Structure 1
């Protein structure tokens, strides 16, 4: 068994994949940085989720609130209205569904509607009821590195040693989540690329994913179309390409993450990443 297979791990109550899994994104929002408004309708959102599965997604992450820097939060009732019918529709079709939410009530109702995983970008910090709800349901939980809903200059954060600080803060958060009743074999960690980080921070974290793996939990890498890729791809005048023109770069990150043992990658455009992780697995199998 290769090092990356050992690192990849398995999340209890979810399917076991023999390679890095592909998590497709369905944003049921009008204001996502990447594709806001395209799937802002239950029927279209469910169809899009099924299309992502047909293109190679292993699970689908449904979110009803944009978490881009500076985004205005929607109220709970609106988030529920956006998310629950889509979760229910996809789960009814046999899709493994993740719900992307910072609210305990949305998580609870999504799990009741058939979601299998809770992906909370705040790692349970935004809503004190989140950890008890997930623990009671016995559901897997993604703990992302998060320093709050920041705005202005604070969006980028400040680090002396970004890898050590992110790892230490994630470790503390994982300990708190376990103390709150969520079983260790149900925890996934996410370095939070793009959240309170500059492009250099994100690239440094990707270069040191082994430090994330050392936490002992499966790792989710969510780099899709993010600002740091725009920085890497910027033209001679420093202008980044639009978010939807960063999919090839996203697939490159997916291949890197898969090769280094990531449990899953979260992406908007599935087909290229599905190919990338399969190639990474084939190379891994030839070692």
Structure 2
């Protein structure tokens, strides 16, 4: 299938097919500043309650659409090196508003200043804090899933490798799963290039550290105890094949998996509902998947 017209228009606006100049720390810091400034200028949906919280030393932002809402951990993407709760604030508000799910968005430490396992340690600490303290913030923590996009999905999956019992469900949007996977050049575009992905891997988990199962989760020896999963990939994304390989590995281990390939879509579409019809549809679908999984678990 060809690129969706909205994806073609988005890539044309980005410019160069190869994503522009190669990444380095200076470029990453510029992107961080520009992304944050752009995010702060956007309009925001009002919710019942939004508050910055300290999750045992990890800064997080809690979004509650109503009292007693079920809550999910949210782990943002950005190649482990970019973005924060502010850049994902508009989208998290939208996600909470549309689905009715509260979210705890984790502002984990970024590489290369803080390489593995710093970001994963922060995500684990935030998840444990949510389990222990969420009720005090008037959200329902009886059943806690996690949602992550891209590198955030890698961190969610890595947390499941570290402690399979900590989360009740995992929603992985175009996850990074294997440092040694071949990336198909035909799937490269301005949304995510191979050279940039390689640089980000080295920034987060340099050398042999990338082979650790908490990082290259596809290499984990035993996935059988992992929580049920939803894995979403994009047809035109260099991470597509490794994401689908991870979904297959989970299924082969006996884990309940829903795998969905977004046809015509590119990396990062999920968090851009103003640009992609497919993003809006997927947000509704994720809310439905979580509602169904939660109801099924409570009936068991």
TM (norm. structure 2) is 0.39
Greater relative contact order, per chain length (Cα 8 Å cut-off, separation 6+): 1
TM-score by length of 1: 0.40
Q: Tell me which protein shows more strand as a share of its residues.
A: 2
